[in-house]
Every structure is written in C-alpha cells, then in structure tokens.
Structure 1
C-alpha cells in the first residue's frame, strides 16, 4: 500500500539567524552575515531565515537606503542561497515604480525568487509614511511544505494571518521587534500557532538600533500545540532545527478545530 501524500513529505531543516545589525550599513551587515554563516552553518539546511530589514536595520530612511530589485542585497541573497544550496529569506528595502516597500524576499538556490510586501505598516514608527503596504497574501512551497510569509507588525492581526482551509503548514515571521514589547511577542506567537494549527517561526534581531531602541531577540519556533521547538533570548544566535510534517498532520487529525472555523473574505486582498 502506498503511503498517503502527507507521509511522503520529509522533515524540514531550518536555520534561523538572530543577528546583530549595524545601523543603515548595508556593506557591513552583508559582510558580517557572510562571516557568521560561513563559520556557523555546519550542516546541510533547507532554509536560512534572516530578520526584518537585515541589511539596514528597521530604518525609515528609505530614499537613501532602498535598492532596486536585483540590487546588491538580492545578489548577495542569490549567492548565499547557491553557496548553501538552500532557500534564503529576509526582508529588505526595495524601490519599485517610485514606491518603497518593506519586501520579504524568498530566494531559491537557482536564483529564482518570490516576495511578500509587508501588509501592516507600523504607524507608531511612521512606517506607513515612508513605505507602501502590500495587498497580497503569499504562500510559498518548500519540499512539500506550505509556508505563509509575514513581517513583524503583521503578527498583531490574526484575521490577516488566519489559516483558512489549512492552506499553510508554517507561518514565518521576520521581525525587528523591540524589547519593550517582548511580552506581546511571546504571547502572540504561541497564540498564532495554536489557533492556526501550524508551526510558527519568528526570527527577530538583537542589539540597539540607530535610535537607541533595544531588541532582545526571543526568536522562536512553536509547534501547533503551543510547545516550544526553539527559543533564544538576548544573544546573537545561529541555530538549526528540524520539524516534522507527519506530526503536524497527526495534530490536525486528532484536534480538527480548523474545520469549525468561520468563513470570511478580506476585501481588496489578492491571493
């Protein structure tokens, strides 16, 4: 008897990089990231996840720092994906058609890519005055896993991230989440995992930014039952872990809560 399709999906090996970022210094950040990856990636991985605006820090200086699609940071991502033969993802500042985007790039080893433009822009930090919001949900696929892409502030909006019809297996969040709101981060990530019956992986940065805002990391992976797979506060960390698809399917089969979820449609949103 053939195995069901879900049993043919292999474990996914994920490398998260909770990085210290140098303020508005693309060259120094890319050099540091390359150095740390070369010394820290010791085994074959499927995915390397970097924080939000990993080449600049979370800056509103979009006009000075933005790159065109295919610019130096995307070229670095392409080369890094090729070097480690895996997907590399993280958000960067992009200028396109006279608009600026906080764009999460999903770079494949062969140089092809997909991207997600951050939908919820952080008004308290005036991100909405400098960047254009994305209007498209993006789900990518890796080794049979369905992965929903999201960025930082999106975490606060459960309707936007709702896992309708079990359309994704992993909710991936890249962030520049400040230490003073760590309690929210630590509460919301497990909540998103439990309510969506998915793994949730949140990758944050560490250190002070150019405005003396401190970031304390607390990157984590939470399973669909709310259990911790990975968690790291405070220090820069480069860590690889595996998650299993069969376990995800078993949880959804034993606790079929998603089948009772409300149906709804978000206006003005494309998929």
Structure 2
C-alpha cells in the first residue's frame, strides 16, 4: 500500500436527482480542495424518494446515463478517484433494479462495478424494509487495484456478512457506501465497521446518508475512516459534509507485523 488521503462524503438525499447531483458535486469539490485523492459517495446518493417506483424510474444501463456521466465528469474535473456510492441500474428482471456501485479513476474511466449482494430485510413496529421486493441481488464480490493498493467494495447491509470481505483476499482498504437506518445504525454501525477493519487488518472508509430525508426516513450517518487497529481517524455524525483522513502505509505494515493474524488463519474456505 501507498499513503492515501481519502474523503467520506455524507449526504441527506431526497427525491430530486438534479438537486442531489448538485450537492454531490459541491461535496466532491470540497473533498478535492482538502487534498483527497479518493472520495466515496453514499448509497443511493442521487435519489432517496418517497416510493420504490422513483428508483425504478431512475435506472440506468451500466456504461451510459446522466448519473454515470456526472460521476465520470466529476472524477476527471477534480483529478480524483471516485467511488460512486450506489445508483439504480437495470436488472435482468425488468420489474427490479440492481443497487450498483461504480468506481471511476482520475481520468473519468470506470474501473470497477459491484452489485449489492445482501438485500436488507427488517421489521419492528411500524418500521419495515424489504429490499428483495424491488432489488435483484448481485452475485460476485468485487475488489480492484488502485495506485494505493487493493480496494474492496461493499454496500450497506453487506457489512453484516464478514465472509464477503474474506472472499476478496487481503485488502488494503474497504469502501462501504451506506444508508443505514437510525434504528440499526445506533445499535450496530460502529461496532460492525470497527470489527471489519480489525479482522481484515485494513483501512475502512464508509460514506453514509445521515439525517432526516424529505420522505421522513431517518438515516444514521456517522461516515467514518477507520484504521486497521480499529481506531476512528475521522467521523461525521449527521448532516452533509466530508470526513477526511490520511491512510498510512507504515501504520498498516506495523499492525500486520505486530499482530500477524492474517497469516495465522487456519480455516480459509
């Protein structure tokens, strides 16, 4: 790994795609002005609407579409690698969508695609979610090489499934866009994030939705940068903004050499 300055972008997206893209553009510019070389947007950064039909209507085919054009243009304009949170894309089932994270390099070229594998289901009181009703699950874990090392991808609920990240092999950085609910986030968000960093001995960057959305939904926020020892280097509780931190190659090497847990693994299937 090489040293890297990263930015986790936090938003409170609503139903207006153009307004959300404008906000994302402003926050990406802020991240770049703070020296970030890689920035990550939150899950569904272009659209959190009042109904699932809004996301279905906004679907794009991977490789073409105004949201993807925005991401490529922003990466190129600011000379920054951009993990594009997630966007709704077309699925094999015409009545569903894929929840897709696309990564663009500093020349605006798409270099990775990950479709969310684990679909959130939760019910308590009046709060209910069933992503499988409108989302088609992905099937393949994804990691990619960057100038700073090996980067793995996950989206939101994927955080609860450590085997996903083990399947990616040794990572230098895990990037996880999210829109965690306030209920589950308050209970488990930080706990799970720090565990993933410690058990994989890698940095974790998570970019979240964080606040009360126009449709009444409340997301937990707490976008963070976490080091491989589980220490939180930067954090943004609620509201729009960026959390910026330096990832140190020396720190990563120190953790892995002092506690070589990855080398001590016995069960690797």
TM bracket (short chain): 0.7 to 0.9
How far 1:35 moved relative to its partner? 3.0
Counterpart check, 1:174 vs 2:177: yes
What do residues 141-164 of structure 1 show as CA deviations (whole Å, max 9, x unaligned)? 221311110000000111222266
Q: Does 1:88 align with 2:82?
A: yes
Question: Separation in 1 of the partners of 2:199 and 2:3?
Answer: 22
| Residues 163, 250 of structure 1: alpha-carbon distance in 2 compared, 3 angstrom cutoff | farther
**Contact 1:193/1:226 (8 A) holds in 2:** yes
Equivalent residue, structure 1, for 2:125: none
Question: In structure 2, which of residues 17, 33, 49 is the aligned counterpart of residue 42 of structure 1?
Answer: 33
Q: Is the 8 A contact 1:21 1:207 kept in 2?
A: no
2:153 alignment partner, one of 111, 134, 149: 149
Taking the aligned partners of 1:164 and 1:249, their CA distance within structure 2 comes to 19
TM-score (structure 2 length as normaliser): 0.88
> 1:30 maps to which residue?
21
Report matched runs for 1:153-164 at 5 Å.
153-162=157-166
- How much has 1:96 moved relative to structure 2? 4.5
Alignment length (residue pairs)? 255
Aligned-partner Cα distance in 2 for 1:100–1:25: 19
How many angstroms does 1:170 deviate by?
A: 1.1
Structure 1 counterpart of 2:201: 197
Q: Which residue of 1 aligns with 2:97?
A: 100
C-alpha separation between the residues in 1 aligned to 2:229 and 2:200? 10
Corresponding residue for residue 117 of structure 1: 115
Residue in 2 that maps onto 1:71: 65
In structure 2, distance between residues paired with 1:234 and 1:112: 31
Does the 8 A contact of 2:225 with 2:244 survive in 1? Answer: no
TM-superposed deviation, 1:36: 3.7
- Shift of residue 29 of structure 1? 0.5
Q: Residues 12-68 of structure 1: CA distance to partner in whole angstroms, max 9, x if unpaired?
A: 01122111212x221110122223444564243211110001000276333212122
Q: Report the Cα distance in structure 2 between the residues aligned to 1:39 and 1:45, rounded to whole angstroms.
A: 9
CA contact (8 A) 1:16 1:50 kept: yes
Q: Go from structure 1 to structure 2 and tell me whether the alpha carbon gap of 1:225 and 1:36 turns closer, same or farther (over 3 Å shift).
A: closer
Unaligned runs of 5+ in 2: 123-128
For the aligned residue pairs, the C-alpha RMSD in angstroms reads 1.9
CA distance in structure 1 between the aligned counterparts of 2:150 and 2:25, rounded to whole angstroms: 28
Give the Cα separation in 2 of the matches to 1:60 and 1:262: 43
Q: Tell me if the contact between 1:216 and 1:235 (Cα under 8 Å) persists in the aligned partners.
A: no
Distance 1:164 1:236, change over 3 A: closer
In structure 1, C-alpha distance between the alignment counterparts of 2:202 and 2:136, rounded to whole Å:
29
Contact conserved, 2:56 with 2:88, CA < 8 A, in 1? no
- Is 1:54 the counterpart of 2:45? The answer is yes
Task: Name 1:132's counterpart in structure 2.
Answer: 136
